[in-house]
Amino acid sequence: MSALLVGKKQDPTAVSKLSGAYILSSIASGNPVLFPVAAGGLVYSLIKSESKKETLVKGGKGAIVSGGAMLVGGLVGAPVWIACLASVAALISINYALENPEKTFTRVKELIKPTASILRKVSLSIG
């Protein structure tokens, strides 16, 4: 249903991102109903889009975001609601990193800079 709503209002590449996420989720959960719907959405977006490469890249990004969220949700050994919050946080951060790689790299570099000097001092004092 959401694929149809996204497909009617936006460009077909948005459907491919959603379909890529659904395909990975259907394989991971073993859902036989979701897989054909997701595959149909991906085929629809490939047929309707002008740039096939961009459509496939968006589908791959959707699968990466979905896989990362499922991985974090599965790794968190906590109550379900904490795992869900961690999954959503991972989903948002991975999606942001994929959409803005240069900005993400500079932010991570700024965050690591103070830690790098501390780790260097510690390693010099140990050795």
Work out the pLDDT band at 96, boundaries 50, 70, 90.
very high
Residues 95, 48: Cα–Cα separation, whole Å: 24
8 pLDDT exceeds 70? no
- The dihedral built from the CA positions of residue 84, 86, 89 and 91, taken in this order, carries a sign that is negative
For 63-89, what is the HEC assignment? HHHHHHHHHHHHHCCCCHHHHHHHHHH
Q: Could you read off the pLDDT of 30-44 as tens digits, one per residue?
A: 988 999 989 998 898
- Region 97-107: mean pLDDT is 91
- Give Cα separations from 105 to 78, 88, 110, 111 (angstroms): 30, 21, 9, 10
Rounded to two decimals, what is the model's pTM?
0.74
The mean per-residue pLDDT over the stretch 75-88 comes to 89
Q: Inform me whether the pLDDT recorded for 27 exceeds 80.
A: yes
pLDDT bucket at 13, cuts 50 / 70 / 90:
confident
pLDDT at 3: 55
Structural domain boundaries in the chain? 2-126
pLDDT digits (tens, 9 = 90+) for 105-114: 998 888 888 8
